[in-house]
């Protein structure tokens, strides 16, 4: 099984291949369009068929300067079309694509049973894979069964689901479809899809220009009706428009070929990842079978669906003679990879999927003030299995075993974690007032005198409704298992993203006030604040760019030494043991370990640690993989993983653009007294 960084490397290769394909296609189209326009501008329309014959077109008679100017103009049009589309998508992100297809956002506190079921599946998978809970859009008018993921990054991602998928798929079938889309989010396919959309728009701009000229010719003809002057302008515009439209259809064909080459194999890989995630091939296969037997199929009828046909779960366009270049493999072929014995027959009647009364009640949002009981923590793994897992990591188990592709076990942990939250707390995390109260409460200090000072600040700075929620949630949050703190913050992200600019500004100020109220920053405060920055980047505050990839360990020696020193010191009370842990971790860098050193606390506090993470984020995937492996080695050196160490490791992984699934060794109820200790150098 490939690890996350292998997927990243594959995505980078695909991006390079896409760029080369675009350059080749652009070169060919510029050449064809330039020659065609040269012939049209060189020969009068009335003489075109007689003068533009091969024996009259010797290269020696061509005006190469004019041809070059035409080629540069065509190239500029294509590049400007690409740049315009890319910047527009960049500014709007995944939500722009969803809105373009007619989607409406499903609010996290929705009380519709079908919508709550969908959101519940999305939350489980987000926690299981360690990525931001994406915003979910419903394509209300689409009867077909389809879905998509769109965005520039995991933090920007949105999921879109058609009304047909919501109504006609069972929970396990919908789970298979969502798992497929999560694979595209997790492994960089979304960014490739956005780039593909931008690049192909540049190629298609020739055809769009042709359509505009034809409309202009029609308007010109109507304006000249009744005049004595010959309508030569309209004829010229019509000829030019028809030519560009014909050449634009060539661009459509080229676009289809590129989309097909890029997308088809990725769909098979996403199917495989979805099955690995859910361990239920029948769910995904069932969804594909229903598409095959459903009258509307997977067609998306939105006007601009063709622009983004490559992002859908299944083919969103009507079948035509270009199906050879479809962006998706045939349904039967996809199903046979999941069920080798599939006969090829699809069900003839597709009924609305039923939801049991018990299931519907479990998805219903609790009433305000109800369900505030404290749920008992779920039982964890037995100590022997936990110790064996940690020992195997300490013995040098490869990183891919610790950060493997999320699977059924991670999904089970996420489901148990969600079940461990009181219903009232979950409901609060899913609305704007409660989401802010949850974050404030988690940041409150455990020392009474500082906690009172923080609450006094919040009394003045927060809205009354948020303050009331905070008072209600404090006893509930005090009882939840410590390892569920950051996953709970994940659940608040969709609601926080829905805040107004004013509300978000107030939230940002209050978080800063709470964190800075005691004059020091503890590791959990840093981890939570870092998670907010990552999840709400663009809203909560953009993170600086990482710059060019750094491929030298020597250039990163100071940052690596700082990171590993802080981790080693956190896990060991004795300096000698901490140094030994760092030396063991440094071996993973081979001969380059000579550049690493054990730094004193005053050289690797949280300020230096944060700076180190920002620099290491710009390293190559290979170095980032080594860094995470070394960080893991520091944590498990004492064969004990505390909850705070797991949270800190997750923070490091996210900073290095590698989402970390939940640790299978940390279950709801596995409390550790060491969690409340603040390590040396953390202040």
* Catalytic residue annotation: 181
pLDDT at 137: 97
Strands 158-162 and 147-150: antiparallel
CA distances from 569 to 574, 628, 652 (A): 8, 17, 16
Q: How many CB atoms lie within 10 A of CB 176?
A: 28
pLDDT at 516: 86
pLDDT at 433: 92
- Please give the distance of CA 511 from its chain centroid, rounded to a whole number: 25
Residue extents of the structural domains in the chain: 1-365, 383-535, 554-676
pLDDT at 3: 52
pLDDT at 365: 52
Burial class (CB in 10 A: 0-12, 13-18, 19+), 91: exposed
In this structure, what token pair is assigned to residue 578?
A: 């901490």
616-625 CB burial, b ≥16 within 10 A, e <16: bbbbebebbb
Closest CA to 486 of 610, 631, 647: 647
pLDDT at 372: 42
Residues with Cβ within 8 Å of 474's Cβ and at least 6 positions away in sequence, in order, are 441, 444
Question: What strand order describes the sheet that includes 104-105?
Answer: 104-105, 135-139, 158-162, 147-150
Q: What SS3 class is residue 564?
A: helix
DSSP 539: T
Residues 77-88 have pLDDT tens digits of 888 888 888 788
Answering whether pTM is above 0.85, one says: no
441: left (phi over 0), alpha (psi -120 to 50) or beta: alpha
Closest CA to 175 of 161, 193, 186: 161
Q: What is the 3-state secondary structure (H, E, C) of 434-477?
A: HHHHHHHHHHCCCCHHHHHHHHHHHHHHCCHHHHHHHHHHHHHH
Q: Distance (Å, rounded) from C-alpha 514 to C-alpha 520?
A: 11
Cβ pair 96, 88 in contact under 8 A: yes
pLDDT at 333: 92
Strands 158-162 and 135-139: parallel
SS3 of the chain: helix, strand, coil, percent, to 5: 70, 5, 30
Q: Distance (Å, rounded) from C-alpha 366 to C-alpha 103?
A: 26
Spell out, as residue ranges, where the chain has pLDDT lower than 50: 1-2, 44-55, 226, 228, 230, 367-400, 402, 539-547, 666-683
Q: Distance (Å, rounded) from C-alpha 16 to C-alpha 18?
A: 5
Q: Distance (Å, rounded) from C-alpha 662 to C-alpha 142?
A: 35
pLDDT at 672: 43
Q: What sign for the dihedral angle of Cα 357, 358, 363, 368?
A: positive
Residues 431-468 have pLDDT tens digits of 999 999 999 999 998 888 899 999 999 998 898 999 99
Cβ pair 483, 669 in contact under 8 A: no
Cβ pair 663, 504 in contact under 8 A: no
pLDDT at 322: 52
pLDDT at 24: 81
Closest CA to 270 of 188, 364, 167: 188
pLDDT at 367: 45
- Please give the distance of CA 627 from its chain centroid, rounded to a whole number: 23
Q: Distance (Å, rounded) from C-alpha 645 to C-alpha 150?
A: 33
pLDDT at 61: 65
Closest CA to 220 of 209, 208, 230, 210: 230
Residues 302-327 have pLDDT tens digits of 988 888 888 899 988 876 555 566 77
């Amino acid at each position: 099984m490939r690890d996350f960084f292998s997927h990243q490397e594959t995505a980078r290769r695909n991006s390079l291949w896409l760029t080369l394909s675009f350059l080749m296609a652009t070169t060919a189209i510029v050449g064809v369009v330039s020659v065609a326009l040269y012939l049209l501008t060189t020969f009068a329309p009335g003489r075109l068929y007689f003068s533009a014959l091969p024996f009259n077109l010797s290269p020696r008679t061509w005006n190469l300067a004019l041809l070059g100017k035409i080629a540069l103009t065509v190239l500029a049009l294509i590049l400007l079309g690409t740049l315009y589309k890319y910047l527009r998508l960049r500014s709007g992100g995944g939500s722009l694509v969803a809105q373009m297809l007619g989607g409406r956002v499903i609010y996290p506190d929705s009380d519709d049973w079908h919508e709550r079921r969908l959101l519940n599946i999305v939350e489980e998978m987000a926690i299981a894979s360690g990525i931001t809970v994406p915003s979910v859009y419903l394509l209300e008018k689409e009867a077909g069964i389809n879905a998509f993921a769109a965005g520039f990054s995991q933090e920007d991602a949105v999921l879109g689901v058609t009304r047909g998928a919501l109504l006609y798929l069972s929970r396990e079938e919908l789970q298979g479809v969502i798992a497929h889309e999560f694979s595209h989010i997790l492994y960089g396919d979304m960014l490739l899809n956005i780039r593909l959309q931008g690049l192909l728009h540049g190629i298609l701009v020739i055809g769009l220009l042709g359509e505009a000229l034809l409309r202009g010719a029609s308007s010109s003809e109507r304006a000249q009706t009744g005049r004595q002057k010959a309508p030569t302008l309209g004829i010229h515009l019509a000829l030019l428009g028809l030519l560009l439209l014909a050449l634009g259809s060539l661009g459509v064909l080229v676009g289809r070929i590129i989309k097909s080459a890029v997308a088809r194999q990725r769909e098979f890989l996403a199917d495989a990842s979805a099955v690995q995630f859910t361990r239920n091939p029948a769910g995904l296969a069932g969804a594909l079978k229903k598409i095959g037997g459903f009258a509307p199929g997977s067609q998306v009828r939105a006007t601009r669906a063709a622009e983004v046909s490559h992002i859908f779960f299944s083919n969103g366009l009507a079948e035509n003679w270009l199906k050879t270049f479809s962006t998706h493999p045939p349904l039967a072929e996809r199903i046979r990879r999941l069920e080798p014995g599939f006969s090829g027959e699809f069900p003839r009647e597709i009924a609305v999927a039923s939801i049991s009364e018990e299931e519907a009640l479990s998805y219903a949002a609790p009433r305000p003030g109800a369900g505030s009981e404290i749920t008992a923590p779920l039982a964890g793994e037995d100590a022997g299995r936990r110790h064996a897992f940690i020992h195997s990591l300490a013995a040098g188990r490869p990183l891919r075993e610790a950060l493997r592709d999320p699977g059924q076990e991670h999904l089970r942990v996420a489901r148990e974690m969600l079940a461990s939250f009181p219903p009232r707390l979950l409901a609060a995390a899913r609305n704007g007032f409660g989401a802010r109260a949850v974050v404030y409460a988690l940041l409150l200090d455990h020392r009474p005198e500082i906690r009172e000072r923080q609450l006094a600040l919040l009394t003045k700075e927060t809205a009354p409704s948020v303050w009331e929620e905070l008072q209600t949630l404090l006893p509930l949050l005090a009882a939840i298992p410590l390892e569920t703190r950051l996953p709970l913050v994940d659940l608040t992200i969709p609601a926080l993203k829905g805040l107004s600019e004013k509300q978000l500004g107030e939230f940002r100020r209050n978080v800063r006030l709470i964190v800075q109220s005691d004059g020091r920053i503890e590791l959990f405060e840093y981890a939570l604040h870092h998670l907010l920055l990552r999840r709400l980047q663009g809203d909560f505050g953009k993170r600086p760019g990482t710059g060019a990839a750094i491929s030298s360990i020597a250039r990163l020696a100071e940052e690596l030494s700082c990171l590993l020193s802080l981790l080693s010191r956190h896990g060991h009370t004795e300096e000698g043991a901490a140094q030994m842990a760092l030396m063991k971790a440094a071996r993973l860098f081979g001969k380059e370990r000579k550049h690493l050193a054990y730094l004193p606390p005053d050289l690797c506090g949280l300020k230096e640690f944060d700076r180190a993470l920002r620099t290491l984020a710009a390293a190559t995937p290979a170095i980032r993989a080594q860094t995470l492996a070394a960080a893991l080695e520091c944590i498990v050196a004492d064969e004990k993983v505390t909850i705070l160490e797991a949270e800190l490791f997750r923070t490091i992984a996210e900073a290095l653009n590698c989402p970390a699934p939940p640790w299978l060794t940390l279950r709801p109820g596995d409390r550790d007294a060491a969690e409340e200790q603040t390590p040396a150098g953390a202040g």
